[in-house]
Structure 1
């Protein structure tokens, strides 16, 4: 991603602390200091400044306390079934969730309807929620991450498929990217995709995870050719090939030699 953005003329300044922002001769100027060298000061100019400050719940003035509903700066307090501290009141979406996505709010609202009106006991923690960063190429993710793999003491493994091995990506000259599938003995626990249409691909993995899917299942699923989604099938194929341990290969070699 870094190389792709840099090739498009994007300049990255990492490990810095913003000092101040001002205007000079009609230009917007951002001054910064390097964290590793506080004596190093520099600035960049531009036409506009984008501040990614995140979102904050707008709950002031609702008198939630008067209804017995607890809240904090992070939003309304809910349990796993999305009930507030007033059990007759539910909440869903950005106001009570760490996943501030439209599709996450939709899924949580479905849980609220089922639990509040149809006396179900569905849990928000059971949701498999993917997310996408709409850069070029896109970055999509669901479930466990590389960090989780590193902390798993070998329980989680990674299957990697570079887009450079996918025929459709080669034909379209879109080989910057990869598919990483994180699994526990074949059971899919997470996935990261960097690809031009990663957001269109991650839904298949989210579906598989929701229904206990495996890498063997991806391998057995026929994907149309040529598509970049074939990378998911290839990930399944790689896992199945890894199952052919030297011992199994020796046994198969003896078996086929015997059946000739």
Structure 2
């Protein structure tokens, strides 16, 4: 089998199975694991997969710039937001992460809601200007323009003073094996710092993030209270539920 044919096979298998295991592929194709790993490196360089220990998983499509990501699965994000607002209790304190899905959550919050929102996202803070009963605490720091959030030492130090009921976490990848991932190391560290300040963390998982992964780990799935999806049937959501991860689907149901 030619190298190009082998790479086509790997891409097709990745789409079908949601992951590639180098050792298994090497045995099946009669090749060395080094040959398979070389193929995976080339596919990763083309943005066709995300390499993980022992193989590869689908690369997240949610790594484009902020404007581009706003156009990806907008309906799914609105459905996730509609379910996630139920997690924000009147009089409570919620941390809203940055990103286009959490922005959808801010837009979906009832105008009559009274609560406190802590965020490191200027776009989320501005969206809440029209919510008279929402007290907004904006965490400052170095602005990471890709996701329109603040990161760095100053932001992490400010986060350490926060105590919240719930954190609504945005990521770019939710994978049963790779866990919760994002595309920047500093942003991943900031997400962990915020998660440590909340009693519960829920992951906002619009359709393009399910089954995908990015380079930097945020949290293992066992560290979150649940994953919020848009309610559509998805093999990854079903697998997460089978592994004991609570999945809250759009419409108020659980998978």
TM-score tier after normalising by the smaller chain length: under 0.3
TM (norm. structure 1) is 0.27
TM (norm. structure 2) is 0.28
Q: Which has the higher contact order (CA 8 A, sep 6+)?
A: 2
Q: Which is greater in Rg?
A: 1
Structure with more of its chain in helix, by fraction: 2
